[in-house]
Every structure is written in C-alpha cells, then in structure tokens.
Amino acid sequence: MSLQTDKRDFSERTTDGLGDSFMRNAVGSAQDSLKTRRLSAATALGDWEQWRTAGQQIRQHTLQNLDYYLEQLAGNIEKKGGHIYFAATKEEASSYIRDVIVQKKAKKIVKSKSMVTEEIELNHVLIEAGCELIETDLGEYILQMDDWDPPSHIVAPALHKDRRQIQRVFTEKLGYTDDESPEKLARFARKVLRQKFLEAEVGITGCNFAVANLGAINLVTNEGNGDLTAAIPKTHIAVMGMERIVPTLAEMEVLDNLLCRSAVGQKLTSYITVMGPSVAGDTDGPEEFHLVVVDNGRSDILGSEFNEALQCIRCGACLNVCPVYRHIGGHAYGSIYPGPIGAVITPLLGGYDDYKELPFASSLCAACTDVCPVRIPLHEQLILHRQNIVKENRTGSMERFQMKAAGRLLSSPALFGKTLRFAHPASRLMSKHGRIVRGPELIQGWIGARDLSQPVKQQDSFRAWLDKRKGESGE
Amino acid sequence: MKVSIFSTCLVDLMTPKVGIAMVEVLERLGCEIDYPASQVCCGQPTYNSGYLEDSKLAMKNMMLAFESSDYVVGPSGSCVAMFHEYPKIFKGDPDWELKAITLKEKSYEFTQFIVKVLGITDVGASLDGTATYHRSCHMTRLLGEKETPFQLLEHVKGLHMEPLKNSDNCCGFGGTFSVKMPDISEQMVDEKSSCVLDTGADILISADMGCLLNIGGRLSRKGEPVKIMHIAEVLNHRNPVIAKGGSQT
C-alpha cells in the first residue's frame, strides 16, 4: 500500500462508495455508537474544552521546538544503545528497514498497525525482499488476508467489512470452518497469530508518541498485538512520523487521554506501553531497537499555512463525525488517510495532481473542527486548499467564469438590483408550475434531487415590500 | 433601538416572507427598522469555493453598507457567521481590518439578537402544531449559537417540539457543495429528510434558509407534506383570537 490506494477518478470512487449500502450501514452505525461513547468519555474528564486547549498547546509547543525535541530523543535513544534513523523520503525509510532485516538474514516479520508504514510502502518493499510479513492488528490481518484490501479508517482499518465478509475471507484463505460469530473469528485469528509472534525474528510497530526525554516510544492499543510485536522478536523496529513526539511523560498522559477518548470513547485503551532500547537489568524484550523517523514531506508542511495539520494525533474522531465520510466511506478518498484530516494532509503529502477533489469533498459543516481533540481548524484548512487550487488554475474554466461573475454580481448593488428584477422572468423558460425543471449544470445538480421554486417576482420581493411600506408611512 | 436588517441574498431572491416576518417581530419588540439598500451578499458562496479575491469584493461592499449601523441583524446563522469570519480574512489589511472587526461586533443572528440583546424569550407567538428543529452547522459551530432558537420556541403557545435524531449531522447543503458534489449531497439530505419524517412532526423549523430550501426541496420531491417554516415566521405567527362577541379579529 502507498499513500494512494486507488488510482481511479474521485467521482468513480465516490459512486462505488455511495452504491455500497452495506459499507454505508456499517459506517453509519459505527459513527452513531462512537458519538455517544466519545461524548461520555470526554465528559467524564471534566472540562473537555480545557483538555483540548492543553492538547493543542502541547502539540504547538512541540512543533515549534521540533528540532530540539528530535535531537533530545535521538541522543537519549543512542545513549541507551538504540539506533535512530532520520529518513527524508519514504524510499529512504523503507530501504533502511529492509537493510536492517536483510543484514540479519531475517525472513519472518510481524507488524502491528501503523499508518506511516503504509505511507512508506513498507509491506511492498519487504515482500519484494522475500520476507514473510504478517499484519497482527486484527483489522489489518483481515485486510491482508483479503489480498491487501486497503484500509478505510485510520483507527479501524476494516470498518467497511462485516462479520460475514470476514468469515468468507477466513474460510477461503485460511481454511476456517466455523460460523460468523465475532468471538470465534477472533479466537481463530488469535491462534494463527500467536504462532507467528513466536516465530518472528523482527517486529515492526508504529509509534503513537515518542517521549523525547526518555528516549522511548509510547504505544496505544486494544488488542495487545503491538506489545507482542515489540516484545517477542529479537529486533524491534518502530516507525514514526517526524512530528509524533512529546517532551515528557506528563504531556504524553494528556495526549493519551485525548487520544483514547476521541478515538474509541474509552478512558484508556487496554494497553498503553512505553518502551524503547533495552536497559541493563532487563531480563526479556528485544535485543536491538531501531527508531525510524519519517519526514516524507512533513518539513515542507512545518511552518507553512498548514502547520496546524501536523498537530494531528491520528485519533480518527473527525472521520467518526464527518457526514461526507459517512456516505462515501474511506476508500472513496483514495488515500490511506481518509476523512477530513485525510482531505487536508493527503494533498500535502501527495500533491494536487492526484488529490485536488478531496478538499471539496466537504460541506464545511465544521463537525471535524468541533471534535478535534487538538483543535486543528480542519474546515478552514480545507478552504485554504480550495484557495490554492483556485490560485493554481486547477478548477474548470466554466467554474472560474461563473465565480468571477458571481464575485461581481454579489458586490454590486446595481447588478444585484437588476438580478432581482430579471430573475423571475428569466426563470420562466426553465420552469413549470412555479418550479424550476431545467437549467445549466449547476441547477441540474440541485434539481436532480430536490424541488426548487422560481425566484420571487420583483414586485413581491422583500425590498419591494419595504419600499411600499415606506411609501405608505410617508403619506 | 435602531436595527439594520441584513436580509441575505437568498431571502431577497427566494423567500421574502422571511424578511417580512423578521421585520414585523422586531418592530413588535420595539425596534426601529433600517434597511441599507446597498447590501447584497456576505460573499460566502465564492469564499467557500476558494475564490478569495472575488469574495473580498462582496465583503467590502457589506462592510460599507452597514458602516453606520448600530446593530446588524440577519435571518441566517450561516450568513452572520460569515460576517464573523471577516476579521480573520482581512487581518493585517490597514484599510479594512478595523471595519471587519466593527461589523463582526455589531452583527447578530435574528434569534440571538432577540434573546441576547433584547433580553426577550417570549415574543407572544402562538402556533398550533408539532414541529422539529434543524440546527444549522454554521450557526451552531461557527457562530457558536446553540440555545437561543430553543429558548424562543419554548414560549410559542400551542407548539409541541419533537427532538430530531442526529441533529448535529449536516443536511448536505454546504452552498456550492450541493451542486459541485450533488450525488453526495443528495444522500446527506435524504438521510436528514428521513430523520425529519421519523419525528412525525408536521412542521420543520430552522434559522437558516439554505438548509430549509435543501431539506424542504427534498421532502417536496418525495411528496412529503411537511411544512417548512423559518423561525422568524414561527415567531411572527399568532393564532387568530376569538373575541367575546364570537367574531374573529
């Protein structure tokens, strides 16, 4: 998988999503139940708005001093005998990891869920190198078994699949013979995966936050697979986006609270672990630790008008409230980062050539901005993207013409006065029984699904009413 | 108290009755009405489409139109929220930043003005029926006004309110979004219409005409007889009073 999960046009992907009634039911009910759980977990914390502000301040402070904290992190990891590698590009990141594995002549790799490893196309690179690689997050494992079906959510990658679909995948690919009960399916996967953990030579995990002053990483999971991936194999490689760092455990505690409550509506997830290079006296755990810090375009975002997007802690709350994501699903975004945050960062990482539609796939309802635990002004960032796309002349010439005309009309009292006079007579040709039934493309989009009345006659308009009253009272 | 009416281009073009209702309610509450005739549009349609420079023309026109107003009151949480964005948009512009801040500070959505400035929650309205209320995203989230419509509706005699499921989900209007991505917008408004129908209400009320044209247009297309009312119409409504002699006044 790379950043891009589907090369087809946005409209084709959307049509697929809208036509998938199963996926839409699954996403809709997941959103509805997560909303209640998130709210109660947030309220339980006390003044949620103050917590959000704290989260925002921690993220902004860290980003403003990112060089300092990354240097501190690197120093502390090396002091403890670990390795740290700064990768400027996705190729550098995945090659480094491949080289570590090849040098060890390791073949058996287990992975826990990590979006950044998708971004750097790590699975592809390692499989090419002849590794046997297994995703151990249950959702990711299901997707891998289903011939690497792309993830559709950053926290729940297989959200678009139901138990029957999972049963079918397990039956066809793994010889599973039981029914579709989630417990039985999970138990089956657990049994398969236990063996993989024990055999694995290298474990690869993501990193929710690196803790700079400890030279350690923090993993937040529910299944415990992340901890097994990190603890059992002799070598642990953790991969992080360059910005995912906190100064100390105190800030980690605030962000973990925000993350767990926002992501899944839990006070804390089942496993919250801080780990890193082994230290003297450790009786178990990996012998070798590597941390790969991935830039891959993030330095260009840092300090730009999109800087706030780097505050993201990948909780997925914005996906869980987005009414557009609700209907088109994650795959329609064509990116491993879907939903509102995906529509902001995907064009930054992958460019407007492939992703110029994403910032427009929003009604700007601001539900995302409202829910973001670190206060990223997501809908404003979408507007910024739109402005850039317009500035780069990437919108259609018809639209540009219409918007120029609208700009003139909506700023000119004289032109608008004429519009009020002529709108009704002009609409007569397009109307039947007081309703508009045909018109240019823009109007077609509206009347395809909704009725639309004709504009009001000038003599019946609000302004005419005001004028008439004025005349009467003046008499 | 002198109140300048910000009628919005949608009310000007499509729904004069909303403007009329707003004026009648405000006058009944003792306001003196002023209408700056050079106003046109807040600039939101082009702004949300990414056409910043074209939008600034409309915004500047509005800042000038309302320059001498004491209070600016509009029947749309969304359009008033757009006014409230002006200071951000004109930040650092020596000619316009101060004007933008001034306009923001004196602009109110209709229900917000009645409750927060006039300090009134009972406007003496009455309307028999069962209604549900659609919160507009921009009024709730951008303007940050969640309560004033409900405080006013609570005092409308004869009106029974039913809660709307998933009331915080967008109706799918989103200005140009509805015509730029009509397939997605259609599914959103369809779900919203179903939620409205599930309430069993015979009236749908909102403080934003954009949402109402969207949801109402969908309900009408589906042949559903739900009545669409802007909150100004509801607050302007008074049941006929039966006088002692038996004749209606």
Residue of A nearest to B48 (CA): A383
Task: Give residue B109's pLDDT.
Answer: 98
Query: Which is it for the CA torsion A50, A53, A58, A61, positive or negative?
Result: negative
For residue A213, being part of any structural domain is answered with yes
Give me the residue from B46, B65, B217 closest to A406, CB to CB.
B46
Q: Please say if the pLDDT value at position A135 is more than 80.
A: yes
| CATH fold for domain B126-235 | Rossmann fold (3.40.50)
Please indicate, yes or no, if residue A425 is contained in any of the structural domains.
yes
Residues of chain A with C-beta less than 8 angstroms from the C-beta of B20: 462, 465
A235-241 sheet: strands from edge to edge: A83-87, A288-294, A235-241, A202-205, A108-111, A132-135
Contacts of B168 in chain A (CB under 8 A): 321, 367
- How close B155 gets to chain A, by Cα (Å)? 27
Among A233, A266, A300, residue at a domain's last position: A300
Cα→Cα distances B177→A270, B185, B209, Å: 40, 7, 16
- Partners of residue B218 in chain A, C-beta under 8 Å: 449-451
- Domain count for chain A: 2
CB contact under 8 A, B48 and A386: yes
Query: Is A359 among the domain residues?
Result: no
Residue B217 and residue A369: Cβ atoms within 8 Å? no
In angstroms, the CA A440 to CA A161 distance is 39
DSSP-derived 3-state class of residue A368: helix
Mean pLDDT (whole number) for A78-95: 97
Same domain, A294 and A420: no
Are residues A420 and A271 part of one domain? no
Of A300, A333, A348, the position where a domain reaches its end is A300
Which residue of chain A has the CA closest to B63? A411
Which three-class secondary structure string do you get for A30-96? HHHHHHHHHHHHHHCCCCHHHHHHHHHHHHHHHHHCHHHHHHHHHHHHHHCCCEEEEECCHHHHHHH
Confidence of residue B244 (pLDDT cuts 50, 70, 90): low
Q: Does B248 score more than 60 pLDDT?
A: no
Q: Which two tokens stand for residue B115?
A: 């409750």
> Which three-class secondary structure state does DSSP give residue B108?
strand
- The reply to whether A421 and A292 lie within a common domain is no
Q: Does A136 touch chain B (CB under 8 A)?
A: no
Over residues B33-47, the mean pLDDT reads 97
Please give the pLDDT value at position B245.
Answer: 53
Computed over its alpha carbons, how large is the radius of gyration of chain B? 18
* The one-letter amino acid at A383: I
The mean of the pLDDT values for chain B is: 96
Angle at A164 between CA A160 and CA A167, to 5 degrees: 105
Per-residue pLDDT reduced to its tens digit, A349-400: 999 999 999 999 999 999 999 999 999 999 999 999 999 999 999 999 999 9
Is A24 in the same domain as A153? yes
Q: How far is A115 from chain B (nearest CA, A)?
A: 27
Q: How many CA atoms lie within 13 A of A280 on its CB side?
A: 1
Mean pLDDT, chain A, integer? 96
| CATH number of the CATH domain containing A106 | 3.40.50.10420
Q: Which of B4, B183, B214 to mutate to test the interface with A (most CBs of A within 10 A)?
A: B183
Please answer whether residues A397 and A82 qualify as being in contact, where contact means their C-beta atoms are separated by less than 8 angstroms. Answer: no
Residue of B nearest to A461 (CA): B16
Beta bridge partners of B34: B4
pLDDT, tens digit, 9 for 90 and up, residues A207-239: 999 999 999 999 999 999 999 999 999 999 999
Residue B243: per-residue pLDDT: 60
The yes-or-no verdict on residue A85 having pLDDT over 50 is yes
- Token pair listed for A136: 């151990």
Structure confidence at residue B249 (pLDDT): 40
Going from N- to C-terminal start, the domains of chain B cover 2-117, 126-235
Instruction: Name the residue range of residue A51's domain.
Output: 10-300
A445/B contact by beta carbon, under 8 A: yes
**What does DSSP assign to residue A459?**
G
Q: Categorize the per-residue pLDDT at A474 as very low, low, confident or very high, splitting at 50, 70 and 90.
A: low
Closest-CA distance of chain B to residue A195, Å: 45
pLDDT (tens digit per residue) in B153-182: 999 999 999 999 999 999 999 999 999 999
pLDDT at A50: 97
- The per-residue pLDDT for B29 is 98
Put simply, whether A30 touches B (Cβ < 8 Å) is: no
A396 lies within 8 A of chain B by CB: no
